[in-house]
Amino acid sequence: MSPLIFASFQALSPNGVIGSSWRDPSNTQIDYLTIEHWTELAKKLESGGFDFLFFADTFGYPTLDGELIPFAVEAGYNVPMADPITIVSAIAAATSKLGVVLTNSTTHEKPAALARRFATLDHFTKGRIGWNIVSGGGQSSSTALFGEPMIPHDERYLQADDYLQICLRLWEGTWADDALRVDRESGVYADPDGVRQVSYEGNYLRTKGILNVPPSPQRTPLLLQAGTSSAGRDFAAHYAECVFVGGGDPAVVARNITAIRDRAEEIGRPRESVKFLVGAGFVVGTSQAEAQRKYENLLGFATLEHAAATFAWSTGVDLLKFDLDKPLPELRSDIGQTSLDRFRSPDGNGPTVREILEDYRQHGINGTTFVGTPETVADEVEAFVAATGADGFLVQQHITPGTHDDFIELLRPVLLKRGLMRPTREDVTLREQLLDAGPRVAATHPGAQLKFKTTADA
């Protein structure tokens, strides 16, 4: 088995992914609004062999029927959440190898603004930046916050297609590779023939102009995507280089991965050109009993009310309104269809509402938790990868820094011995690190067709 990709899943919030873990006295995540918290964590992850630091983010927050859920505020659960893009430059200055991936929606902000920001960050990080593309997040509350109408779920992906087409044209098509001269003697900063306006007219979005930032190491940041609804899978097959999928039943995870790889192959991209990362919790101890004690301590801060608030935030559905001992009825959501589909079984025998809530309480939004000794967890990781075809994991933070200390000090040596983790992270761009390819998008990626063409290329 080849070395796997490992990243740390974080948000600029006081909490982890299960319950109110900020209440644990050892949890330093309550310092999330200090620069030092993030630079120290980033240095720890880099020295511990992690490939990148992943920031989840959304403007949304838990609501039901348009009203704030008071429990979410009281428990510090998905409220508050600050803007992670503000910390990237500090992380870049404190590290030299660790990648940074930011979540940004294609719904609320114009694509030219996002393209300019990511191009700048790609320079500042020397090619270590990635974009996790989402078409929404906490959609009910975020659209109300911006005074915008709710766009139907599948239509958001059509708009996202326009969004990506604009960003890719700006990143790939504005500047020739040799346009930047910076020749003091001649007074030529850039060759005008090597800088062109790009244009695009879509059904939802349009542009005409240039990216006012010279070409960065990757040009296009590494493109990640999260969402396994039918529309999400098709979008991922076209554009994503890495896909973030929830855990849970390995058979369901395997079906989602296979479906996206099949679709990518249909449209002319190699199956292995898309990497898949599974969100999972890792609770590791020197003995099974110690690991279980850590897990039980964590669950002591989690209730079914936490679980219901998370489900409402990600789907707009209040599970507590249903009979807890019956399966969840067939539902559609313009807020988060993926979270609903996660509990659908092809044979129609889905879990009860109570079982869904308990799953969220025990595992958080992503559905898989490995609990045990380093050897036991490594065995389970190998088995999960073999069953699903996944390429790595987003390690869910529960207690900071405890989650990562245990991973690095206890689990990493076993993973290294088995060849499941790279000895060190290479000093290369994020795309080169994860895809074993060049710094630019692959020739089979849609972005490659939009590269600046000279007269000789035409």
* Residue-number span of the structural domain to which 15 is assigned: 5-179+189-306+368-450
Task: List pLDDT tens digits, range 161-198.
Answer: 999 999 999 999 999 999 999 999 999 999 999 999 99
* pLDDT bucket at 288, cuts 50 / 70 / 90: very high
Joined together, the tokens standing for residue 131 give 């974009």
Q: Note the residue count of the chain.
A: 458
Give pLDDT, residue 315.
78
* pLDDT bucket at 69, cuts 50 / 70 / 90: confident
Q: Does the pTM of the predicted model rise above 0.75?
A: yes
Is 338 among the domain residues? Answer: no
Give pLDDT, residue 68.
86
Mean pLDDT of all residues in 274-299: 96
Task: List pLDDT tens digits, range 302-329.
Answer: 988 888 887 887 777 888 888 888 888 7
Is 139 among the domain residues? Answer: yes
Handedness of CA 163, 166, 167, 169 (dihedral sign): positive
**Burial class of residue 43 in the structure, from the number of CB atoms within 10 Å of its CB (0-12 exposed, 13-18 middle, 19+ buried):** middle
Give pLDDT, residue 351.
84
Joined together, the tokens standing for residue 313 give 């935030």
- For the chain, give the mean pLDDT: 91
Give pLDDT, residue 346.
57
Is 334 among the domain residues? Answer: no
Query: Can you tell me which residue has the tokens 């114009």?
Result: 110
Q: Are 172 and 218 in contact (CB under 8 A)?
A: no
Task: List pLDDT tens digits, range 379-437.
Answer: 999 999 999 999 999 999 899 999 999 999 999 999 999 999 998 888 899 999 999 99
The more confident residue out of 164 and 63 is 164
Joined together, the tokens standing for residue 176 give 């020739």
Torsions phi, psi for 44 (to 5 deg):
-60, -45
Q: Can you give the chain as a three-state secondary structure string?
A: CCCCEEEEEECCCCCCCCCCHHHCCCCHHHHCCCHHHHHHHHHHHHHCCCCEEEECCCCCCCEECCEECHHHHHHCCCCCCCCHHHHHHHHHHHCCCCEEEEEEECCCCCHHHHHHHHHHHHHHCCCCEEEEEECCCCHHHHHHHHCCCCCCHHHHHHHHHHHHHHHHHHHHHCECCCCEEEECCCCEEECHHHECCEEEECCCCEEEECCCCCCCCCCCCEEEEECCCHHHHHHHHHHCCEEEECCCCHHHHHHHHHHHHHHHHHCCCCHHHCEEEEEEEEEECCCHHHHHHHHHHHHCCCCHHHHHHHHHHHHCCCHHHCCCCCECCCCCCCCCHHHHHCCCCCCCCCCEHHHHHHHHHHHHHHCCEEEECHHHHHHHHHHHHHHHCCCEEEEECCCCCHHHHHHHHHHHHHHHHCCCCCCCCCCCCHHHHHHCCCCCCCCCCHHHHHCCCCCCCC
Q: Which of 13-27, 341-355, 417-431 is the least confident region?
A: 341-355
Mean pLDDT of all residues in 361-376: 89
53 strand-pairing partners: 8, 100
Is 60 among the domain residues? Answer: yes
Q: Which of 5-14, 70-79, 134-143 is the least confident region?
A: 134-143
Q: How many CB atoms lie within 10 A of CB 273?
A: 17
Q: How many CB atoms lie within 10 A of CB 210?
A: 15
Task: Select from 52, 9, 94 the least CA-distant residue to 433.
Answer: 52
Joined together, the tokens standing for residue 302 give 């989690």
Q: How many CB atoms lie within 10 A of CB 200?
A: 18
Distance CA 38, CA 215 (A): 28
Is 352 among the domain residues? Answer: no
pLDDT at 294 over 70: yes
* pLDDT bucket at 56, cuts 50 / 70 / 90: very high
pLDDT at 74 over 80: yes
Is 350 among the domain residues? Answer: no
Number of domains in the chain: 1
Joined together, the tokens standing for residue 121 give 């960050």
Mean pLDDT of all residues in 34-52: 97
Is 348 among the domain residues? Answer: no
Distance CA 367, CA 307 (A): 12
pLDDT at 144 over 60: yes
**Burial class of residue 382 in the structure, from the number of CB atoms within 10 Å of its CB (0-12 exposed, 13-18 middle, 19+ buried):** middle
Q: Which of 40-44, 141-145, 170-174, 369-373 is the least confident region?
A: 141-145
Residues 6+ apart with CB under 8 A from 218: 122, 127, 129, 429, 430, 431, 439, 440
Q: How many CB atoms lie within 10 A of CB 433?
A: 22
* pLDDT bucket at 59, cuts 50 / 70 / 90: confident
CATH number for the domain harbouring residue 162: 3.20.20.30
Residues 6+ apart with CB under 8 A from 151: 107, 136, 143, 159, 334
Q: Are 104 and 131 in contact (CB under 8 A)?
A: yes
Distance CA 458, CA 446 (A): 18
Residues 6+ apart with CB under 8 A from 168: 220, 446, 447, 450
Give pLDDT, residue 424.
83
Give pLDDT, residue 403.
95
* pLDDT bucket at 1, cuts 50 / 70 / 90: confident
Q: Which of 7-21, 52-66, 333-347, 355-369 is the least confident region?
A: 333-347
Give pLDDT, residue 379.
98
Joined together, the tokens standing for residue 341 give 């589909």
Give pLDDT, residue 138.
64
Is 199 among the domain residues? Answer: yes
